[in-house]
Amino acid sequence: MKSNNDIIGEKEFVCAEAAPGDFLVISFDEKDYGKIYFISHDANEKEEYKYLVANTMESLIKTMYIKES
């Protein structure tokens, strides 16, 4: 991949940077509208680079928590 433009679709909006070069995006595409995906910038041609992490922003936020030590 040459840049993040190669992996982030035209109908996806970056809502957070997960790690340097990896992102959480929300889809505005008709077929998966509102779903949140993790996009890895360092996947090769044989690996997946896009993973569904939540069906809605609300469900993503509800699954976040702070682990107390």
Domain boundaries, the chain: 4-63
- Which residues have a Cβ under 8 Å from the Cβ of 4 and sit 6 or more positions away? 21, 23, 41
Do 35 and 56 touch, CB atoms closer than 8 A? yes
Residues 29-54: b if buried by 16+ CB within 10 A, e if exposed: eeeeeebbbbbbbeeeeeeebeeeeb
Question: Any idea what DSSP says for residue 9?
Answer: -
pLDDT digits (tens, 9 = 90+) for 6-52: 678 889 999 888 878 788 999 999 999 999 999 887 776 777 788 99
The residue among 69 and 63 whose pLDDT is bigger is: 63
Q: Would you mind telling me the total number of residues written for the chain in this entry? A: 69
pTM value > 0.75: yes
